[in-house]
Structure 1
């Protein structure tokens, strides 16, 4: 009888300790807050923001990074000393750098050269190395090549996001939203609005809605220079665009494997100027700075609420506060950055202000 033993007690012991360390991080973290967004008057409709900025690494991607590390550890892809490489526009890399440092692993983030300096600084704070790429379409191929060259593991959030997260429960973001909504006057949301970066969040939320047989509909928002909307509209999983997204954290030049179009009820393509205008107006309303993808989410949430009102319906809408606007002081909150990108915020600012004061929605022509 031939036998071959590929495992040693030392390797298994390190992996066991690593899994315990990552799991302990989740156990130490309280759930994120569900914040009511102040609307004018009682319209019979409530808007909530799931505040993912309070995670230890400051964004929604903390959940994803934890799941990806557990998935890779349990699959035997990461062992002691394995270099970890990721393709990321910033927030996922910040969170993965945090977990890599926790486990004593080298981490390299391959990112577009346009990634905000604030995010680069956060990755480096967690001992990560930033590898910047001029062509956003080359980020994934560069990450794969670096992993092969260094004998490391390419984490590949764009493929594994939808399968690394336990969509049936285990305190995933969808389960958390419904638990926190239980005591509200409209506990089952009419709509949940999320962005598409990997597609993992929309896959998790959409599957949970169906698994629990809720009547909630899922709206996915997509910024300019992203392929998700076109791919969903045209039933084309091969859809691509040439330019990179200016709204960090969402938008991709191709439809990623983690995006599950069949769980999405509606998609909206949101202009970048609208995202920036709304995040600024909403930041002033809340007294705190919001990130770009939160502006994209809120633009769609406002439009959906206006639709509900026009039909005389009541209910609730939930979306995500993905990260803090403090990471974008030199971009979305900089007038020179806005002007340099040729964004005209004025018509979308007027739309947001009119909605927040009257509930009326007038889409700029």
Structure 2
């Protein structure tokens, strides 16, 4: 559907320039996120770092994306004063977009799966947004467009525009930030950058940037169990589809999204959900605070990269993302009864993750359970 265009004249242009100014001022008030070293006795030659995106004002990696999407929509003339902003989201992007919508004085509606955590719903409402929950995750796209049309507003469509709204060359994107923060480390040029894929926009930014800067760094995308991204990476089929959503909130998709660019990815790991949750719990203990489930997915994929380096006798560094804080999941992934009902009870897997990190000997059941591709492919998989 053709995007509506706002007139650039008169009061519309004045509002547009003021809106861009508010977002830029908000960025100027913000500092960069921390890069946390995680020393693992079992991987003496490999340094692991967590880029802590939970320290953004809205608490997640999606704050960067939301800022970029709003600037992109404003500069394309898609937003107007008083117009409603609508987004399809599993929660974190909607929280961040609600923040920027409130900054500009715009109404905001998030179209989300029914199972989205209550903490995320509360965070959206705290920012002044409204939540529209639906049963079928495949309907969030069409329902978002329908609502935007009905309200005379704009459907932000993160899954289409994430990779093109982000300036991957510079402008303090996440890749540039990582390399600048790594500058004085023992291994300043990471061997691997690891990120899970929700829209695919962050992975696209990482992959494009390392090519643009001619860095000797590979990019690994981590995928959830109920997601099509891994299979699309293998076969490039654009019409892959699932009829249920990912159980790891914020990552994995039931269809191939336009922002997922397999050609800039060097390797992939498809992580069983129970191992993502197990790694989430173990990492929370290691860093002394709760992290979200997609960060657990990232840790498992980082383990695959580190194990390959160890086996090849390669020393170096791996950087992955701490996507959001675990407080958003107090009633789900941090609730033992909820995990039991969801089939994600993970005490044995957590013990195996802990042993893998401490001893650099990956649990056989983990290696048997995940799938790897690209430069991380294991013979027989």
| TM-score, length of structure 1 as denominator length | 0.97
Q: Name the CA distance, whole Å, in 2 between partners of 1:123 and 1:102.
A: 13
| CA apart distance, 1:7 | 3.8
Query: Hey, what's the Cα distance between the residues in 2 that align with 1:60 and 1:232?
Result: 23
Between the aligned partners of 2:234 and 2:96, the Cα distance in structure 1 is: 32
- 1:176 match: secondary structure: helix
Q: Distance in 2 between matches of 1:191 and 1:319?
A: 8
Instruction: Show the counterpart of 1:331.
Output: 332
User: 1:286 — aligned with what?
Assistant: 287
Unaligned runs of 5+ in 1: none
Distance 1:7 1:319, change over 3 A: closer
Secondary structure class of the residue paired with 2:31: coil
Q: Which residue of 1 aligns with 2:126?
A: 125
Alignment partner of 1:308 is 2:309: yes
Structure-1 separation of matches of 2:136 and 2:257: 18
Dislocated runs of 4+, deviation >4 Å: none
SS at match of 1:288: coil
> Aligned equivalents of 1:71 and 1:7: distance in 2?
15
Number of the residue aligned with 1:351:
352
Q: Does 1:219 align with 2:220?
A: yes
User: Per the alignment, in what secondary structure is the counterpart of residue 71 of structure 1?
Assistant: helix
Counting only pairs closer than 5 Å after superposition, residues 1-365 of structure 1 correspond to structure 2 as: 6-40=7-41, 43-364=44-365, 365=368
Distance 1:67 1:262 in 2: 22
Q: Deviations over 1:148-200 (max 9, x none)?
A: 11110000000000000000111000000000001001011111110110010
1:320 partner SS: strand
1:56-103 per-residue CA deviation (whole Å, 9 max, x = no partner) reads: 000000000000000000111001111100000000000000000111
Show CA shifts across 1:40-68 (max 9, x none): 16611100000000000000000000000
The gaps in structure 2 that reach 5 residues or longer are 1-5, 369-381
Q: Is the 8 A contact 2:247 2:273 kept in 1?
A: yes
Q: Equivalents in 1 of 2:297, 2:186: separation in Å? A: 26
State the 1:331 CA deviation.
Answer: 1.0
Per the alignment, in what secondary structure is the counterpart of residue 138 of structure 2?
helix
Aligned equivalents of 2:223, 2:184: Cα separation in 1: 31
The answer to whether the 8 A contact 1:301-1:319 is kept is: yes
Q: How many residues align?
A: 361
Residue 80 of structure 1 aligns to a residue in which SS? coil
SS of 1:114's equivalent in the other structure is coil
Contact 2:86–2:108 under 8 Å retained in 1: yes
Q: Which moved more, 1:70-79 or 1:305-314?
A: 305-314
Q: Which secondary structure does the structure 1 equivalent of 2:364 belong to? A: coil
**Cα distance in structure 2, aligned partners of 1:36 and 1:306:** 18
What do you get for the CA RMSD once the two structures are aligned?
1.2
Q: Normalization by structure 2: what TM-score?
A: 0.93
Is residue 225–residue 242 contact of structure 1 (8 Å, CA) maintained in 2?
Answer: no
Query: 3-state DSSP class of the match of 1:353?
Result: helix
Contact 1:82 1:152 in 2 (8 A): yes
Q: Is the CA contact (8 Å cut-off) linking 2:249 and 2:293 kept in structure 1?
A: yes
